[in-house]
Structure 1
Amino acid sequence: MTHIRQTVGSRSPLEPEIGFSRAVRAGSYVAVAGTAPIGDDGSTVGPGDVHAQTVRCLDIAERALRDAGATLADVVRTRIMLTDVTQWKEAARAHGERFASIRPATTFVEVSRFIDPAWLVEVEMDAVTADQKPQ
């Protein structure tokens, strides 16, 4: 069976520079790339605030899912990467606000830093939809 492949962008200036998509759908599988807390103006949202940054990451990732024909209900795995894992509860609170009833497999990990030192968190998601065609 041939899978339809769809790429989704988010207008990030890093996408063409690095050569990546915010999300890729292949058949019923949707992968959302590491998503940073970047505002529409290119600045970091919520400087110093893990919860606010996580909310922004989730907003961007959710939009990418929707653009790929998926929803949060289709998410089967999330990865939360933090520069200070001791602040995991703030990221978890934002995650729980979206996923309390969906309950995907979730991993929290600490990383040394991100491309922009103001970013405290990045989020990745994987989803599986009921159909194989982009909607």
Structure 2
Amino acid sequence: MSSVVQLIRSSALADAPYASAATAPPASRLIFLAGACPLDDDGRTVAPHDYAAQAARCVETLSTALEAAGATLTDIISTRVLVASADRADLVTAWDVVHTAFGDHEVPSTLLGVTVLGYPDQLVEIEAVAVVAA
């Protein structure tokens, strides 16, 4: 099933690896996802000190939550990627994993460096909103 999300790029803005905006038809159903965290099945943080591995686990968690809601990554209309670091290289490491997982579906996204996240040893969290046909 194809996504109802329409990605919008503006030639008046700098080229970026994500759309500058996205829309969905009026008869769509929004899915607000909790922040996807890098937790294993027992609730422990995976891969302490590894930004890439935690980002990958967050994408897996996000995909599982989407599946439960009847959606996939291509139904996401926006993301916010939170990275517990003041070092830009750590943010880019996490972003590269997330961007690769989304492939050509380059949704509007915000990448933020934050002081701390909620779980012990947690370095990455992904917030997302998805949309599917009603």
Aligned to 2:80: 79
Task: State the number of aligned residues.
Answer: 105
State the match for 2:69 in structure 1: 68
Percent identity of equivalent pairs? 33
Paired residue for 1:104?
A: 107
Structure 1 residues 41 and 117 mapped into 2: Cα distance closer, same or farther (>3 Å)? closer
Give the TM-score of the pair, scaled to structure 2: 0.73
In structure 1, list runs of 5 or more residues that go unmatched: 1-26
Q: What code does the residue aligned with 1:57 have?
A: C
Task: Note the C-alpha offset of 1:117.
Answer: 3.6
Amino acid at match of 1:61: L
User: For 1:56 and 1:67, how far apart are their aligned partners in 2?
Assistant: 17
* CA apart distance, 1:116: 2.2
Q: Unaligned regions of 5+ residues in structure 2, if any?
A: 1-27
Match of 2:96 in 1: 93
Cα offsets for 1:51-91 (capped at 9, x unmatched): 10011111011111111011111111011001114211111
Q: Measure, in 2, the Cα distance between the counterparts of 1:116 and 1:73.
A: 28
CA–CA separation in structure 1 for the residues paired with 2:99 and 2:113: 19
Output aligned runs, 1:1-135, within 5 Å: 28-85=29-86, 86=88, 87-129=90-132, 131-132=133-134
Structure 1 stretches of 4+ moved >2 Å: none
1:38 Cα deviation from its structure 2 partner: 0.6
The separation in 1 between residues aligned to 2:85 and 2:99, in whole angstroms, is 19
Q: Which has the higher contact order (CA 8 A, sep 6+)?
A: 2
The DSSP-based 3-state class of the residue aligned with 1:28 is strand
The 2-side partners of 1:94 and 1:51 are apart by: 6
